Structure 1
Amino acid sequence: MYTLKKESSSTKARLGELKTDHGVIQTPIFMPVGTLGTVKGVSQHDLVEKIHAQIILGNTYHLYLRPGMDIMYEAGGLHEFMKWDKPILTDSGGYQIFSLSENRKLEEEGAFFKSHIDGSKHLFTPENVVETQRTLGSDIMMILDECPPYPSSYEYAKNSMGLTHRWAKRGRKHFLETEARYGHKQHQFGIVQGGTYKDLRIESSKFMADQDFEGIAIGGLSVGEPIPLMYEMADLNTDYLPKQKARYLMGVGTPGNLIECVARGIDMFDCVMPTRNARNGTIFTRNGKVNLRNAKWKNHHEFLDPDFPSDVCNKYTMAYIHHLIKHNEIFGLVMASIHNLTFYLWLMEQIREHIANDTFAEWYPSMVKQVETKL
């Protein structure tokens, strides 16, 4: 499934390809998050034509609850339901259950939880999340795992990791014993856990590397730990993961986070930050972060970045964009969302070009500073 094409001579950055039945994905890559079968505020047409998304993420927990698997199966799976003919990755719902700390209970059988919508009771097991993702028909599905909170005691993190490992074996067994439902091949990724403890992270990396998953994710980071610690754990994990499998850092992050983690050997990312921040009036640019609600833009009748390919930058003035965002006009929020995702995918393209030209090591430190500047 994954082919390693090139490695940076001075960092751990990698250039690769992920082959799925719905298309080939060039890595490193960022995946826009389509929680409920849509990337918030963005049409599928714009995802392809403006943003140039290669793959999107769907959320098993939310789609399981709404619209439900009966409707999803009747529709022919998530691709057909939302009319998206490119690859889709679905998570297992583990992170959402982690966030329901007051309304869930973890046992060996699986995760018992109450719906955040109506309080109804449900159970996710390693086996039935495979079945749910079979019904969704995603190209890449994730195993059920437990995401421990930060901070966690060593004992908690170790026991949590052990549960994730046992669930991983059950989930893989069920995956191999079942068939895809819509005529295209599905792949399954394992998930490394272990909190922020080095020995546990190494142990979990080795365990997942020894399984026969098509790719491996790094979970349990970006949950409140200091950013340098996140980098340290990601860097440590990739030292023990196989080179010939894709590495996916879940739930990360800012543009600077993405660049730094590519330098540490990560291939895939997802995060709600581009669209969530856009709806709150913040956009990311080549020169730094911009608060569109800031009064400094009220009388700024110029373009933000005339050479960047988004309407926010080269079609409408900052005074107009500021006006729309300040008054929560939907058009402004949509434009900001499209812009942020366009920027994220543009940034990944730049990263791939620099890895290909072996200039990544020289380029990335200054670019991190640049994109994290507040304008």
Structure 2
Amino acid sequence: MSTELKYLIALTQIAGIGPIVGKELLRFFGCAEAIFKEKPETLSKIKRYGQQLAGGVSNPKLLHLAETELEFMDREGILGMSISDHRYPEWLKECPDSPAVLFLKGGGRLNEEKAVSIVGSREATGYGKEFVEELVRELSRFNVAIHSGLAYGIDITAHKEALRNGLPTYCTLAHGLDRIYPKKHTKFANQMLAEGGWITEFMSGTTPDRENFPKRNRIVAGITEATIVVESARKGGAIITANIANTYGREVFAVPGRVADERSKGCNFLIKTNRAHLLQTPEDLIRMMGWESKKSKLIQTRLFPDLTDNQVKIVESMQSQDQLTMDELVHVLNRPISDVSTDLLLMEFKGMVRQLPGKKFELCNQ
């Protein structure tokens, strides 16, 4: 284990130094070791959190705690990833409050091409469970990694169905990796280790206390490109996760339910307030994410004789790529964004291209 990782773990244990401040310090000092080697009197002059920082680096117990954690990680085969590690999840890296250190136990690689988070009620109904099972089965055609929180109800249903269909699945935990909560799900958690794994930002010895779950939820929301809510009350962890995903600019989907059903009021509210896309079938998600088969993607431009030269160039550019963003098209075509935007709108009207979540565009199947 690296010396830098030891100092980084110790930094995360300083009271008052959260992930946002911690990453600001790392950018300023260059590395965690440099922070601990700085004079405490110099650190104490830093505005807002100087005193906490100076007190923390002067406390030898923190480095001893970090060394003990490294020994535990070595025994248990746990990977510790800093925010600069190439193995750190790329989607999560974009989030302003992502953990400075992330721990992973398992054989998964975390940066799968396609990944979604599935969350929902702990008291799931047959309707909710059946929807999740059908959804995950359909997603197995596209080898989509499944993330959730190992809780009762929707979470464990998603994990179990992913395992049945040979998909990598990850549980993000609100405690250290020396335990599994709920304990009843240990069997399934162990099965995840082959292709997926357990994820946390908490050190061993950390118990699943109430205040840890919202922190866990932000990782679930940030680690994938889309969050799917299947059954949720108006308040609860699933709604928190969906709201966080929205703040990160991720796609959020919600499965509608009966108006009077308490376990569907949260989903219905997300849809009603335009905080989530309506998800009625697995095909809705597959289409919105742009994952459908590209086998028939080539467009014969001769079938559209009224295309301008610039629109033909857009087609040619998009035929070499599955999806392109507006900025990428502007760069490739070397044209003003207003002109490219106008052409894309006209081509959408003709059924030649469609816009996807994340301001991406792709050619329609012909």
**TM-score w.r.t. structure 1 length?**
0.30
Point out the structure with the larger strand share: 1
Higher relative contact order (CA 8 A, sep 6+): 1
**TM-score w.r.t. structure 2 length?**
0.31
Larger Rg: 2
